[in-house]
Structure 1
Amino acid sequence: MSELLAAIKFNAEGYMTDPNQWTREIAEVLAKQEGIDTLTPEHWKIIDFCRQTGLATGKSPTLRQITNGTGISTKDLFALFPKGPAKKVAKIAGLGKPEGCV
């Protein structure tokens, strides 16, 4: 694990417990751990939307909220964040696990 993550607290499922500790640099490290080598502007659009929504509501947005809020299709979300985009984005964005995700 990166030195950058050493002071960060995570829960048993790997989600940050304090979203205020999040930085873009931390997001890049977390993305690599999730199998995403490079965060593109499209990735950041989704991450930024999720951060704004999550911090405003106290909950990570669902897949439907992400597609509606960003205008990015479900298919494209799965291409950008394979195998469970809502959960991966929440982890990378420093938010908790989205409700309804198993």
Structure 2
Amino acid sequence: MSVRPPQDDDSEPETLAFGIAALDARLDEAEVNWPATDRELLDALGDPAIPYDASGSTVALVDVLDRVPVQEFETETELLDTLHPVFEEYRENSTRSVLGQLRSLLPF
């Protein structure tokens, strides 16, 4: 069963940030000194699970960092640019799976 949201609600709809947008939000909340190594990032962020698609599927940050050859990042922008292809690969692979295809058909 589902319930229709109230029609007179003036609040903004909630959105789910995923991929580098979700990581960027975590970085904004953490105290990271640049340049930073992958281990320093994990220490500062606590190895969070980062959503990589709109369905809320997640991947551990350590797994994403392990898939790139770089271990030190000069800036936040360099980190996000380096990790973007990894998040995209996770997102693309999730939509190809049978479960991912079923999720894309459901309205939630």
Higher strand share: 2
Q: Which has the higher contact order (CA 8 A, sep 6+)?
A: 1
Higher helix share: 1
Larger radius of gyration: 2
TM-score (norm 1): 0.29
TM-score (norm 2): 0.28
